[in-house]
Amino acid sequence: MTPTILRDQVDQALRDLEPELIRHRHHLHRNPELSNREIATAAYLAEQLRRFGVDEIRTDLAGHGVIGVIRGGKPGDKTIALRADMDALPVRETSGVSFASDREVEGPNGTSIPVAHACGHDCHMATVLIATKVLAMFRSELPGTVLCVFQPAEEGAPIGEQGGAQVMIDEGAFAGVEPTMVFGMHVSPLPSGTVAYRSGSQFAASTRVEVIIQGRQTHAAMPWLGIDPMPAAAGVIVGAAHLVRRIPVWQPATVTFGHVEDQGRFNIIGDRIRLEGTIRCAEDADMERLKTGLHDLAIGQAQSHDCSAEVRFDHEVPAVVNQTGWIESTLPTLRRLVGQERLLVSPPTLGYDDVSALIRRFGGLYVLYGAQDTRWVTDGSGAPTFEPIAGGRGLVPNHHPSFYANDEALRCGAAIHAHIALDHLYGLIDPSATPTIRVEAGS
Ligand SMILES: [Zn+2]
Ligand SMILES: [Zn+2]
């Protein structure tokens, strides 16, 4: 069978399996689990892989990760890894879909935490599952190996725990089946069925930050009898906004505090203040500079107000860097599937994705996939942006309680995974074989 005939047969199988694809998506969406708690999700995925008859199933990887291995029936030295993240978010869903999550899990001190797939990882799992099923059906025609990689804890392991892509690598999840290409996509508010890619930094480097300012408790009316940590904390928050001015403005970066915890009240100066936040930068090289700056700022502010400070950085994720060679060699496949008019350069983002660990280690590509009722707007200069379509469900960012992804977009998403797998195994996606052409913004 030629690659062209094989692709046609794969497409026909995907059309036949669209109802099953949607069923998987709805099941996973209705049953979301938080990072490092993806127990039922992992069991469901492993059960499907067993039904599909893949050659090997690896489970309990970095917690609840699952890898299915399909060994092709033709000789070949390529191994494609199709990666889907598994975890949901502590968000109360208000998307209004019939398969919305109403799940709650137990939180600290008897509280309950709502859980929802507000980042669309249910779509990632469902599309990779169906691509895997179809590739397993045609395994005798595959010149190489296919891995479906279901990765836990993309949204960040709970404080004090490890998890995610780097832990999978460190624990040897890929032993004996090292990918020669990793491919992944993230659903986004872009127009349904479009692919957006970026050469260089696709997603930012990220670090979680914790700053603890230690003072000494006293009466609010007698501050001189204690040490007030409040001015030092305020100085850190205000000063942090200026740190990014040390980075060239064309290299996006931000230092954001999203959580402040104080122990005082209106008439008590509390003992200490805890700040929690994140540093994001498009270029990995800027991270050390911002971390050092924030550390020195916190220590300096604490000293100048008689306090002491501790600064901790954890959950460090490198930037997702798409190498030009991988983009150039994958663009023909993407163009064939979605058409040139649905293939665009994405604007920069300071979001992160720990798929970066896999792509840095093994090579490959990560792109955005549109799944909402939006449309591109461009005036011909600079990167295009997008806006809601009149009468549609609107533009809703990932992590928002009303985030949604259209079911109708998913079959093409599964086709992209399946075709990229085929084209890589057949040697058609190979950066070392692609002449270098500069990829211009807007091309
Ligand atoms: Zn997310
Ligand atoms: Zn996500």
Ligand nearest to the CA of 125: 2
Note the Cα 102 to chain centre separation in Å.
23
Q: What share of the chain is helix, strand, coil (3-state, %, to 5)?
A: 35, 30, 35
CA of 141 to the centre of ligand 1 (A): 36
CA of 90 to the centre of ligand 1 (A): 11
CA distances from 81 to 69, 217, 235, 289, 428 (A): 9, 55, 46, 34, 16
State pLDDT tens for residues 175-226. 999 999 999 999 999 999 999 999 999 999 999 999 999 999 999 999 999 9
Q: What's residue 347's pLDDT?
A: 75
CA of 31 to the centre of ligand 1 (A): 17
Ligand nearest to the CA of 368: 2
* pLDDT band at residue 434 using 50, 70 and 90 as cut-offs: low
CA of 120 to the centre of ligand 2 (A): 6
Annotated catalytic residue: which of 85, 283, 286, 354?
A: 85
Ligand nearest to the CA of 186: 2
Annotated catalytic residue: which of 155, 328, 354, 373?
A: 155
Between residues 106 and 376, the one the model is more confident about: 106
Tell me the CA end-to-end span of the chain in Å, nearest whole number.
33
* pLDDT band at residue 396 using 50, 70 and 90 as cut-offs: very high
CA of 119 to the centre of ligand 1 (A): 5
Percentage with pLDDT > 70 across the chain: 97
In the residue annotation, 141 being an active-site residue is answered as no
pTM of the entire structure?
0.91
CA of 93 to the centre of ligand 2 (A): 15
> What b/e readout covers 127-156, taking b as 16+ CB neighbours within 10 angstroms?
bbbbbbbbbbbbbebbbbbbbbbbbbbbbb
Beta bridge partners of 310: 212
Name the DSSP letter for residue 175. T
Q: In what order do the strands lie in the sheet with 144-151?
A: 56-61, 65-71, 144-151, 78-85, 181-191, 364-372, 195-197, 343-345
Ligand nearest to the CA of 369: 2
Report the alpha-carbon distance of residue 346 to residue 331 in Å, rounded: 14
State pLDDT tens for residues 5-17. 999 999 999 999 9
State pLDDT tens for residues 150-184. 999 999 999 889 999 999 999 999 999 999 999 99
Note the Cα 42 to chain centre separation in Å.
18
Q: Do 356 and 316 contact (CB within 8 A), yes or no?
A: no
CA of 399 to the centre of ligand 1 (A): 6
In 3D space, the residue among 253, 237, 234 whose CA is nearest the CA of residue 245 turns out to be: 253
In the residue annotation, 93 being an active-site residue is answered as no
